[in-house]
């Protein structure tokens, strides 16, 4: 089964790049970040049940943000890639993962509630709702370029794309809803975009990097990740890409490039008529090999493990 996952990664990548209409909007994080202004700095707050962040955007040049106008999604990727060599912005960010953090709190401080959430021998609904996040919080610094692809003359249109290097670090790791002391850090190269119109939202990202752990019982990795999310308030055509999303991440053991973790989910959204909000439900899995942990963290572990993801959310 392990050898089927790299094929899945290639399939997902192909769908990610080719299956796109020409004009979109974004959604992946709770709201599309507005285009950073021409002033030297700006503070952005993005709340979400799974990822909440506070960022400081600092301009490194007085040159206006390039406006590339209306483009197909594929052309937007190429534009971002072509401009990645000239960093123009520094973003300092602090983030917290509220529900995953809450899962660790419940397990530690209300063990009876956590035990009652065990529906079957292998399914705990608290763990299913909070699975997929390996850290409770992080601080990060992004250095790269930003382009504006909002639609000219449209007040309801916002679009921003990022490409560059992201450095992140933290002090804890989450394993099975338990906090483990771990001074970790990671460095990744990423391309990320958010587009919003009055009737659509779209967000996407693809990234690769390395994550190193201070805790010797947690395996150092390289990783590759794709994410895409789309919300249509008034879809014009019926396709499987309307009101849907997915994310796929593959972790490779640093020393051998052997896959040791696969994280995958698909998401369906149901917009509420007449309101700029939607109910979303994601389902998927996290697969981990026996090489993910060693030492005390591997105690009682027998072979690989699979955790089901069941993630409800509300998007605006």
pLDDT tens, position by position, 218-271: 999 999 999 999 998 877 777 777 899 999 999 999 999 999 999 999 999 998
- Specify the 3-state DSSP secondary structure of 206: strand
Whether the model clears a pTM of 0.85, i.e. scores above it, the answer is no
Q: What dihedral angle (degrees, nearest 10) is formed by the CA atoms of 188, 202, 29, 196?
A: 120
pLDDT the model gives residue 89: 87
Report residue 158's pLDDT band, with 50, 70 and 90 as the boundaries.
confident
pLDDT the model gives residue 265: 97
Residue 172 sits at φ, ψ, to 5 deg, of -140, 155
Mean pLDDT of 160-185: 95
Q: Is 242 or 301 the better-scoring residue by pLDDT?
A: 242
pLDDT the model gives residue 153: 64
Mean pLDDT of 43-72: 83
pLDDT the model gives residue 197: 77
Mean pLDDT of 64-83: 70
């Amino acid at each position: 089964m392990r050898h089927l996952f790299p094929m899945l990664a290639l399939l997902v990548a192909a769908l990610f790049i080719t299956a796109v209409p020409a004009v979109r909007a974004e959604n992946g994080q709770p709201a599309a970040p507005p285009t950073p202004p021409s002033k030297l700095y700006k503070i952005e707050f993005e709340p979400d049940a799974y990822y909440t962040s506070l960022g400081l955007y600092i301009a490194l040049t007085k040159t206006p943000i390039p406006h590339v106008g209306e483009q197909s999604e594929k052309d937007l990727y190429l534009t971002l890639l072509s401009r990645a060599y000239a960093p123009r912005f520094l973003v300092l960010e602090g983030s917290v993962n509220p529900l995953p953090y809450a899962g660790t709190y419940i397990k530690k401080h209300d063990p009876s509630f956590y035990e009652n959430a065990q529906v079957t021998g292998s399914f705990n609904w608290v763990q299913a709702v909070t699975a997929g996040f390996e850290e409770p919080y992080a601080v990060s610094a992004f250095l790269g370029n930003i382009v504006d692809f909002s639609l000219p003359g449209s007040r309801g249109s916002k679009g921003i794309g990022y490409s560059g290097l992201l450095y992140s670090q933290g002090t804890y790791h989450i394993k099975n809803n338990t906090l483990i002391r771990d001074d970790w850090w990671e460095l990744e190269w990423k391309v990320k975009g958010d587009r919003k119109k009055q009737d659509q939202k779209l967000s996407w990202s693809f990234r690769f990097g390395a994550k190193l752990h201070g805790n010797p019982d947690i395996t150092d990795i390289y990783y590759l990740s794709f994410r895409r999310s789309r919300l249509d308030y008034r879809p014009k055509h019926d396709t499987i890409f309307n009101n849907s999303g997915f994310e796929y991440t593959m972790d490779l053991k640093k020393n051998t490039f052997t896959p040791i973790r696969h994280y995958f989910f698909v998401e369906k959204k149901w917009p509420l008529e007449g309101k700029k909000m939607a109910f979303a439900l994601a389902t998927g899995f996290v697969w981990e090999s026996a090489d993910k942990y060693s030492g005390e963290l591997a105690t009682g572990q027998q072979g690989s493990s699979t955790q089901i993801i069941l993630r409800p959310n509300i998007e605006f």
